[in-house]
Structure 1
Amino acid sequence: MLQRFFIFCSGADTEILEQCSPGERTKYAGIGATVFFTAVMATIASAYALYTVFDNYYTAIFFGFIWGLLIFNLDRFIVSTIKKSDNFFDELIQASPRILLAIIIAIVISKPLELKIFEKEINQVLLEEKNAMTLENKDQLALQYQPSIEALNTEIAALKQEVIDKETAVNNYYETFIAEAEGREGTLLVGKGPVYKEKREKHDAELAALQEMRTANAARIETAEAQVAGLTEQYNTKVAETQPVIDGFDGLMARVNALNKLPWLPSLFIFLLFLAIETSPIIAKLLSPKGAYDLKLAEQEGAVKTWVAQQKTQRDVLVTTDRDVNNRVYADIAEEQELYDYKRKKARELMQMQADAFYEKQKSVL
């Protein structure tokens, strides 16, 4: 039962194989098994590749199965259409387009499995790329908000420094009128004289101005800090909104590009393995000697060609004979006087009717 299934996969004519030896059937069962398992591997590879695209098991399995059937049909067609002949180079030329197609199929099959085999290494490459993209994204977004934030921070620092400078000046005024009262500076007289009062009034005026400055600058600083907080929140929101795009950067094309950044030698070996698997039915068919199945198939096809040629020859002879008979029949009829008189009579009547019609038309015009 299994052998019959694999023979079906090889595309061989089962009726002809039944007339051949068991060894011939085993050979074609082996070729059919190679075709079948190649299609199975194509199904698995394409299902994984489609899963990386659609991220859905059912969709990936369905289209992977369709792709596997397509590969199975192509391989079965390739093997079944290679005809054995007595010249190996003629067979090789006949199979060359099919070998090229097998190479293309091998590339298509091997690439998704390479993605699965080197999944951990690819994930590491993608992680590094995502980290770099995250940093680059933050830098690009910072260019939109950082100048405004820095300007506001500079303004806040200037307002704070203005208050500090004012406090320093007020403190200096305080030390001046205290030193005047103690007689350490100024008039060097101990007591609260006119100079002391003048300096005290100056200090009190500056202290009042300091209080006003503190209130005004505090309000401005609070406004600026609120603007900084708002810009920072916008920046963080923008980063949070764009991060899922970066986190989702693991599609099929991204993984293929990441695979290309890995060492090429392991990928080459995997490709060669699938190339050997894909071309093995063709190579087996080319290298196998001309067996009983090939001889019987050539005999059957030759018989059909001969029968078609005979039928065509007979149809050509029939057409030629029928044409000659018709020519002789019409030639004999053309010589009969009765037929000539009848046609002459009818032609005369037709000409008379035309003359009468022309006459009536001319009368109506006049």
Structure 2
Amino acid sequence: MLSIQRFFWMCAGTPIEIIERYPTEHNKFIGIGATIFFTALFAGLSGGYALYYVFAGAPFAIFFAVVFGVLWGLAIFNLDRYIVSSINKTAKGLRQFYQASPRLIFAVLIAIVIARPLELKIFDKEIKDVLKSRYLHEQQERVSRVSAAFAEKYALELGQIERLQKEYDSLSKELTRLREELKKEVFGDKTSTTSGIVGFGTYAREKQAVIDSKQEREKYLASQLVKLETYINRQKELEGINTQMMLSDSLMNAKVSYAGFADRNWALGHLTSSGNEVNNSSAHAVLFITLLFVAFECAPILVKLLSDAGPSDVDIHESEARIIRWLTATSPLSKNRFVRAYRAIGGKPGRRLTRRPLYNKRVRKAGAAGLHGGE
């Protein structure tokens, strides 16, 4: 517990030696340090999750995600720790807010960035359904475009196939009817198209001749259709038309699972932009999740701003002020004064001190002594 306590003190950005002097400040700095640590932790997890979708399907996707998540979390941790430690609690409240305002603005941007990947994970099932509908629609459009281009290119052959197919179908129906009439003619059934004479007579032979001629035509049409269809299928194979087919459910699910960050982000935007009740509810949920992360990301700064100025803050402020006075003191009467080599005592900044070498003083003293002695 002592190690965890000191770790959170270190996260708070205040020197541990100063915190240890004031026991009443221990819990406050534990809270501030824990807030900074967990904010950085969630930022790292969210950043790593976002990058995982960027490299989805790559062999080192998990490695890149872990490395980026650690670096992103450390960057947020360092930024929060620096800004929290730089807020002067002994200053007036408005000045403290001015000191923290850049970080609060930056916190909103970071919160939006780190909230988006987690929103994608929360609405994962709904996003997959939207992506599946989109991919199916895109496939249908692609197949339609390819088929239309192929039909335009081979319009003559396809038109011949259509005409021959119609004639073949019509001829097949007529042959079926003629065979029924021949059967009734042979068995002596009296109808408007049969004589009613039993046996294979003159009328039956005439009907048989008509059937034979039409069967020859049917065979010719069938052979022509086979040739044309074989040619069209071969051309489809050469131009890759046969591969432009609708994906099966398993292939579609695999494609949706490996969808990139841009597609998933688009699906979430589409899911929250429509006007029905379900999508409006999703839009409200996304908004509240974003606001939650904004509040969570701003938590380290807010905790520091809302806390009262404690003994440690006063100690740090007085120590810094005392050091600054000692470093900037220029009075000759001050025991703790600091005289820079390039400034005269009490002189203006930037004015160089012109000093004569010591040996000149000795020469002048020796010369003066000689003159007095000579007198």
Rounded Cα–Cα distance in structure 1 between residues aligned with 2:9 and 2:77? 13
For structure 2, the 5+ residue unaligned runs are 183-205, 273-281, 330-336, 368-375
Are 2:249 and 1:247 aligned? no
SS in structure 2 opposite 1:235?
Answer: coil
Matched AA of 1:112: P
Aligned with residue 257 of structure 1, among 258, 266, 278:
266
The normalised TM-score by structure 1 is 0.70
Once the two structures are superposed, the pairs formed by residues 1-366 of structure 1 within 5 Å of their partners are: 1-19=3-21, 21-55=22-56, 56-148=61-153, 151-159=156-164, 217-233=221-237, 234-239=240-245, 247=255, 250-260=259-269, 261-262=271-272, 263-310=282-329, 313=339, 315=341, 316-317=343-344, 323=354, 325=356
Q: Distance in 2 between matches of 1:160 and 1:267?
A: 57
Instruction: State the secondary structure of the residue aligned to 2:99.
Output: helix
Q: Distance in 1 between matches of 2:14 and 2:77?
A: 14
Contact 1:51 1:60 in 2 (8 A): yes
Q: Which amino acid aligns with 1:136?
A: E
Distance 2:143 2:18 in 1: 72
TM-score (norm 2): 0.68
Q: As a proportion of its length, which structure holds more helix?
A: 1
Q: Which has the larger radius of gyration?
A: 1
Q: 1:229 is aligned with what amino acid?
A: N
Distance 1:49 1:41 in 2: 12
Alpha-carbon distance between aligned partners in 2 of 1:230 and 1:102, rounded to the nearest angstrom: 62
Deviation at 1:151, TM superposition (A): 4.3
On the 8 A contact 1:133/1:246 being kept in 2, the answer is: no
What RMSD over aligned residues (CA atoms) do the two structures have, in Å? 4.0
User: Any idea what the Cα deviations from partners look like across 1:52-76, whole Å, max 9, x if unmatched?
Assistant: 1212323222221221111111111
Report the alpha carbon displacement of residue 269 of structure 1 after superposing the two structures with TM: 0.9
Distance 1:161 1:128 in 2: 37
**Residues 326 and 61 of structure 1: CA distance in aligned 2, closer, same or farther (over 3 Å):** closer
Looking at structure 1, the residues matched to 158 and 353 of structure 2 have their Cα atoms a distance apart, in angstroms, of: 109
Q: Deviations over 1:91-120 (max 9, x none)?
A: 111111111111111112111111111111
Aligned residue for 2:191? none
Identical pairs, percent? 34
Shift of 1:218: 4.9
Cα deviation for residue 246 of structure 1 reads: 10
- 1:283 and 1:159, CA in 2 relative to 1: closer, same or farther beyond 3 A? closer
| Structure 1: unaligned runs, 5 residues or longer | 176-199, 337-366
| Residue number in structure 1 paired with 2:203 | none
- Distance in 2 between the 1:110 and 1:209 partners? 75
CA distance in structure 1 between the partners assigned to 2:44 and 2:307 by the alignment: 28
User: Is the alpha carbon distance of 1:47 and 1:314 closer, same or farther for their aligned partners in structure 2, counting shifts above 3 Å?
Assistant: closer
Inter-partner Cα distance in structure 2 for 1:231 and 1:77 = 69
Rate the CA distance shift 1:138–1:112 in 2: closer, same or farther, 3 A: same
Distance (Å, rounded) in 2 between the aligned partners of 1:162 and 1:112: 61
Say if 1:83 and 1:91, in contact at 8 Å, map to a contact too.
yes
Structure 2 Cα separation of the partners of residues 274 and 284 of structure 1: 15
In 2: Cα distance, 1:14 partner to 1:61 partner: 31
How many residues get paired?
A: 303
Rounded to whole Å, the distance in 2 between the matches of 1:131 and 1:160 is 32
Report the 3-state secondary structure (helix = DSSP H, G, I; strand = E; otherwise coil) of the residue aligned with 2:88: coil
| Aligned CA distance change for structure 1 residues 208 and 101 (closer, same or farther; 3 Å) | closer
Q: Which residue of structure 2 lines up, in the alignment, with residue 346 of structure 1?
A: none
Distance in 1, matches of 2:355 and 2:67, equals 64
SS for the counterpart of 2:89 is coil
Cα distance in 1, alignment partners of residues 122 and 84 from structure 2: 30
- The answer to whether the Cα contact below 8 Å between 2:151 and 2:158 also exists between their aligned partners in 1 is no
How many Å apart are 1:238 and its aligned residue? Answer: 3.3
3-state SS, counterpart of residue 290 of structure 1? coil
CA distance in structure 1 between the aligned counterparts of 2:64 and 2:353, rounded to whole angstroms: 64
- The 2-side partners of 1:121 and 1:90 are apart by 46
